[in-house]
Structure 1
């Protein structure tokens, strides 16, 4: 039996840490808790960066950090700031000694790193009024005269002070940092900051070990907020507000995580395998440095035995500037489910190629299921080395884009999801299986012949080879695909001209003139497409044998009633004329390039027989993610 340590706002770090004589800080408990121990934190606001010192030793001998049952515990990376002086009108200033921040001053630290595209002088600092974050102004003059939206470029809004909330127009800040002090100017509109709760970012993280290898930690039941996390590309350190820092076996559950400057929860890489070398050296593409990162990680012991196998479940994650959940390499063999993720990267103060509700690289055998993801710049972005990855039974709505799969060779499985963004799917990968989804919106399909990325032995980090994305080798079964006015490329017609079997593909390759590799570049890979419904302008693959094609408008709608989410959809009379079978390892063709089957992470046969609500299908059922869909009007609760 381990020891239960207690932490209370009425405690002392000179105490024994018992329930009757508790510690004052969580870090004090974290400095003594060892495998098998628990840390119980009692109600209150704790302003500290919790840095677990010792690892658990196994799933049965882990260290558990939890909020006391029925008590609200908030851990913040911010500090209160008082003594504001009025400058002019609704503009105030405060002067903070740099010693207040120690060796990490978020108002001096610039947002920096690989794949940042637009970053007009942003810093990692933030100002909060009664918990609401401000916008950083580009100049001090803009604090007095806040700007509004002026233009949208490539999906990124410059001058975004009023992008989502007209009342937010005047809530801006600007900081000047000299050798001794940080002066923060802020426009508080109608509020007197000396009468309100004003906080500023003061720490990089909230719960994150300084050392790697702190395994088997459980973090449960906290609210964590307001940290100055840096930009987290796959070629750099990836610290989050909360995360394991390159370790194994964490369980992160039942938490509320919000207001991270960049990333909320990180299960990603660490600095030893690369540190923004493209931005620092500028001598070769970031793509090459990312390849080097993968090999550096292998040398450092990247394997199932050392990292990954995390569980992230039942969390609410919102108001983060870059990602809700991020990870490269360290996210292998993990499970992410039943999380509510929203308002990610919607302030658009900076823009880059590493932004999403969930952004993972090399998510080998990672299972992402039963999540609610909405109001994000991008819902899920899965990049490089998707192998054994499964995206199942998730609900996406009001995102700019829903799902992006990139430069991977599979096998990966996307099943029983609801996608509703005008831009629903970016498919820059190959070797995927899309089964029983509802997809409304644009479906982009691209080859990536200029970048080869690794693929692996089945259920392993061992590299088997490299390949560009030739396009195809995809499977589309039992989906409902919906077009709409003004939406192009809904459907599977972008596969027209592709072969439909491995035998046909091989025959065509070997009847092409030219060398071996040239022939493989010009013959389209096989695709396996059947028994889908195409509605309201969605167009089918021209060699699909059995389908439903109708101009019928299903008037698809996602509605919220309190915490409940409903799908409303009207389906045509002929909808129930096609029933799709249950697909499995036995029915899904192996992936050509990786030469790997669709399987569960443990190597057992995968059977895709559970619908979005968890109902198990015994045999053939209607198309789409819900077994109880029917012709005519449907209104079905899909979350809550």
Structure 2
């Protein structure tokens, strides 16, 4: 399905090449969807349908190739119940940069309630995933992101920098998280990997090779290995979970191209000057495995992470894509030790907490000692990350 001149998609006008309107339970699979003026697939409508038996029938978007659309690959608004977006190849979204706003991304959900975004490959888009409007019980897991950024050739000036920041995208941007939003076992490899403008985001076992911006009640520390913190002024000191939390991730600081470094620094300065409202209400806590069946509360928002700096170490991270699929080309195994972290569990009580004991390939992490990052063993870094569909 290709070349549809649908106009700007939003809650007021929610059309794409494929549009579910007020429907539920659609299955969109094995399609090649391309060259929409705005959106490829649109889910939901601002009027939420009434269902007699009170059941929710999620949309399932699986095994599609979605590319060369002007605004979004997939957009969802009100009336978009618990979508499952799995194993799609999404690329070349908004590459012409003729549309600019938060509503531009490969996957854009507002709200994102009960959404599952799993095993997708998203690359060469302005932005990978944008979630906002109300984000609750949502998981972003086992995806590959790369080259989601501005084009290679641009120059930052005093006259154009605000326009460039408006067009600047990330692998993942989260706003308005009302509970724990899970980001686990992903490869986040673009220049601007994460922008977390909300508390209540839990990041576990990701490989992050790009700039990170996250909300904190603590002022920005110079040379902070976790990159840039958005300081929430006049916020009371609170529990560590009144923030975003990072457990068992691998951070590789990227040596950004000079113009991108200037632009991201300006974007961070702008973001730090903006007031941020947060209304998180969630009782989940994080626990670390001690021994079989035993868990201990983690009184901090960071634990078990590995940090590398490509300016100090010769760490290389790149993507190779061919007809055989998408592979990681990296020497990270030379710097990464196995089983240096402990298995993480999240839940209301230690007894009912959920273990993060499955890695990127779906393999079980054995025991309580685990390896930071998406893979449980170093040999898995030679495995295919994504099988191309078309």
Instruction: Report the alpha carbon displacement of residue 475 of structure 1 after superposing the two structures with TM.
Output: 1.9
Q: Which residue of 2 aligns with 1:480?
A: 250
Per the TM alignment, residue 372 of structure 1 is displaced from its structure 2 partner at its CA by 0.5
Alignment of 1:57-96 (within 5 A): none
Give the structure 1 partner of residue 276 of structure 2. Answer: none
Query: What is the aligned partner in structure 2 of residue 607 from structure 1?
Result: 355
Aligned partner (choices 366, 378, 387) of residue 629 of structure 1: 378
1:373 CA displacement: 0.5
For the residue of structure 2 that corresponds to 1:575, the secondary structure is coil
Relative to 1, partners in 2 of residues 1:304 and 1:350: Cα closer, same or farther, differing over 3 Å? farther
Give distance in 1, aligned partners of 2:315 and 2:54.
48
Count, aligned residues: 308
Contact kept, 8 Å, 2:216 with 2:243, in 1: the verdict is: no
Closer, same or farther: CA 312–572 of 1 in aligned 2, 3 Å: closer
Tell me, what secondary structure is at the counterpart of 1:378?
Answer: coil
Instruction: Give 1:302 deviation, angstroms.
Output: 8.7
| Residue 614 (structure 1) shift | 1.6
Question: 8 Å contact 1:403–1:424 — kept in the other structure?
Answer: yes
Query: Is the contact made by 1:255 and 1:315 (CA closer than 8 Å) also made in structure 2?
Result: yes
Deviations 1:499-555 (A, max 9, x none): xxx9xxxxxxxxxxxxxxxxxxxxxxx8521010111169xxxxxxxxxxxx42321
1:411 maps onto 2:180 in alignment: yes
Deviation at 1:579, TM superposition (A): 2.6
Aligned to 2:10: 233
Deviation at 1:241, TM superposition (A): 1.0
Change (3 A) 1:559 1:240: same
1:581 Cα offset (Å): 3.0
Task: Say if 1:246 and 1:268, in contact at 8 Å, map to a contact too.
Answer: yes
Q: Which residue of 2 aligns with 1:566?
A: 327
Corresponding position: 1:266 with 2:266: no
1:433 aligns with 2:180: no
Alpha carbon RMSD of aligned pairs, Å? 3.2
Counterpart check, 1:528 vs 2:301? yes
Q: Distance in 2 between matches of 1:335 and 1:572?
A: 33
- Aligned-pair CA distance for 1:303: 10
For structure 2, the residue ranges without an aligned partner over 5 or more in a row are 150-169, 218-232, 236-240, 266-281, 283-298
- Superposition deviation, residue 351 in structure 1: 2.0
Classify 1:614/1:226 alpha carbon distance in 2 versus 1 (closer, same or farther; 3 Å).
same
Distance in 1 (alpha carbons) for counterparts of 2:247 and 2:185: 11
* Matched ranges for 1:332-411 at <5 A: 332-400=81-149, 401-411=170-180
1:343 CA displacement: 0.6
Work out the CA distance in 1 between the residues paired with 2:305 and 2:22.
42
Return the offset for 1:317.
0.5
TM-superposed deviation, 1:444: 1.3
Give, in angstroms, the shift of residue 259 of structure 1. 1.2
CA displacement 1:275-334 (0-9 Å, x = unmatched): xxxxxxxxxxxxxxxxxxxxxx5xx64999376511110011011100000001233222
Q: Bigger relative contact order, structure 1 or 2, given CA contacts below 8 A and separation 6+? A: 2
* Unpaired runs of at least 5, structure 1: 1-223, 274-296, 449-467, 490-501, 503-525, 539-550, 591-596, 599-603
Q: Name the CA distance, whole Å, in 2 between partners of 1:469 and 1:533.
A: 31
Asked if the contact 1:373–1:396 (Cα under 8 Å) also holds between the matched residues in 2, the reply is yes
